[in-house]
Chain A
């Protein structure tokens, strides 16, 4: 019997297909990771030369948006204050919520499944919608664009993120630990506060930091609600500047000097986000040893 030419054999084509798709996969991985690395790298390359001490130590002076002196201290402080306040509000909503889901309700409870589902769905709602919703709340209460308004909108935005992140670690708490605690006569609240909270402490800090990072970087939710101000202000009822909006406005001017400052401001924001991410990693490793397994 004559052997088939190699080009017709199934084995050959299988190998070609395998190689072809492997190559395609490697290519895709390369493109995605290169893209991701490039973003951070480009921001550093473009931002570093434009960065100066006055950028981070001064508020905008007259003609700042025309290329004259000043910095974005107002926006840095504004963003830190706003994101901290929002994280605090979100924390006092998230902690009781996840304690209730994990300690008071049974593991198979339909209510907790529903709440988890709604939180996941809320996670996917665009931040501009939170901005618009926050704005309608503000109009309802007669508030103007202010630090408080921004805090409310951002806290709504980060509340599902924080709760879900906390929930993930609380679900990991061994049932036996709770039972051991109940068996010495504690109430559920005491168990929650003194046992579960301690057990999940690193996870909770991580959740708060993740939410903080998300809050500090978001522009669309603060654009109506927090407004903008060239002055450093921490009054709850005054408009406040935020870093993402500072970047946006600077990039929107036609002057190259000001646009360079937008790159520098972008670098500052990126550095803040990367540091938060690193601290989160460090903390979760560091506190790991206090956890009962």
Chain B
């Protein structure tokens, strides 16, 4: 009899340990990456690191500007392409489309969310890069190898669409039905109801969904690395190659231990990525949590 209670106690102690681990993991990651990037932060000033344009680890030059700008370009292009398409699709699925479509789209979206980023990368190299090189470039009258900001943005736009659609459909579904009825009863058309009532209520949640998608795009590594050309220069148009921060980390792991401060610089890159994605995730999740708790 007593043994069972002791067992219960012991097990719960073990569980508490794991709960604590899960609770502090974010902080441990932040502290560990900061601690590892301290050597370079001590030698170089923040402005030198973030506004420096030259990246020459063997010469001791670590300017992150091109990588940060590159990541921003690709992320912003992907969000610009993806958001209108995703939000309109989500509105259709939730407000207009038949029930069977909603039910069939769910597993498909889940499957796409689960496809590995390398597969998206392969598809990008196979389809998107030739498309940009042969057709879009001619359309806009520019010359490009196809490995450029636009290709990265297109691939990312598709990659982040499951996240944005999923959250948006959920947020739209949570808007009370009575609100729609009220609006329709006043003689509004369906679109007017969506525009004036449903979207207004769901806006915060949809923005949170976009925030999650944006964080994903910002940190995406392999797919972007495979299609953006990886040239560390400030791009002047979407048809120029860029080098993103995650790609920088992934590409240089081999040599980083042989050059002084190199490993510290790359882990500083990881630290920046972690901070940016954390900020976007925390804000978006807080918004979604509030909606879930309070309703509308």
Contact = CB atoms under 8 A, between A and B. Distances in A.
Q: Do A and B interact with each other, yes or no?
A: yes
B57 to A, nearest CB: 16
A7 interface: no
A270 interface: yes
A269 B246 contact: no
Given A32-B86, A117-B285, A220-B221, A39 B119 contact: yes
Contact of A22 (B12, B26, B191): B191
Interface string A119-133: 111111111110111
B84 interface: yes
B122 A247 contact: yes
B206 interface: no
A14 B7 CA distance: 69
A136 interface: yes
Contacts of A115: 19, 22-23
A52 interface: no
A96 interface: yes
Interface residues of B, number: 83
Interface string A96-114: 1101110010000001001
B277 A28 contact: no
B192 A127 contact: no
B21 interface: yes
Contact of B8 (A17, A132, A187, A251): A187
Contact of B158 (A14, A36, A190, A281): A36
A29 B92 contact: yes
Is the contact region of chain A dominated by helix, strand, or loop, or is it mixed? helix
B125 A124 contact: no
B189 A187 contact: no
Interface stretch (B41-49, B108-116, B177-185): B108-116
Contacts of B108: 33, 36
B15 A104 contact: yes
B191 A220 contact: no
B281 A99 contact: no
Contacts of B216: 124, 126
B123 A39 contact: yes
B29 A133 contact: yes
Contacts of A141: none
B18 A133 contact: no
B158 A129 contact: no
A171 interface: no
A276 B115 CA distance: 11
Interface residues of A, number: 84
Given A188-B8, A251-B125, A127 B285 contact: no
A99 B12 CA distance: 10
A156 B28 CA distance: 12
A27 B108 CA distance: 18
B64 interface: no
Interface in B212-269: 212, 215-216, 218-222, 226, 246, 249-250, 253, 266-267
Nearest to A223: B250
A33 B105 contact: yes
A97 B22 CA distance: 8
Contact of B189 (A18, A46, A117, A135): A18
Contact of A269 (B118, B190, B278): B118
B36 interface: yes
A271 to B, nearest CB: 11
Contacts of B226: 248, 251
B296 to A, nearest CB: 20
Nearest to A242: B118
A97 B119 contact: no
A149 interface: no
Nearest to B28: A133
A18 B96 CA distance: 12
B25 A122 contact: yes
Interface stretch (A55-63, A65-73, A209-217, A233-241): A209-217
Interface string A236-276: 00000000100110010000000000110010011001101
A163 B21 CA distance: 13
B127 interface: yes
Interface in B159-195: 161, 165, 189-192, 194
Contacts of B25: 118, 122, 156
B273 interface: yes
17 contacts: A17-B189, A29-B88, A32-B165, A93-B22, A97-B18, A118-B25, A121-B278, A124-B216, A125-B219, A126-B215, A126-B246, A126-B277, A128-B273, A136-B36, A217-B117, A220-B117, A220-B250
Closest 8 CB pairs of A and B: A126-B219, A217-B116, A132-B270, A124-B281, A25-B92, A28-B88, A220-B221, A100-B15
Interface of A: 14-15, 17-18, 21-22, 24-29, 31-33, 35-36, 38-40, 42-43, 46, 93, 96-97, 99-101, 104, 111, 114-115, 117-129, 131-133, 135-137, 156, 159-160, 163, 187-190, 210, 213-214, 216-220, 223-224, 244, 247-248, 251, 262-263, 266, 269-270, 273-274, 276-277, 281
Given A17-B189, A270-B115, 15 more contacts: A18-B189, A25-B91, A29-B89, A33-B108, A35-B158, A43-B123, A97-B15, A115-B23, A118-B22, A126-B216, A156-B25, A248-B222, A273-B115, A273-B119, A281-B107
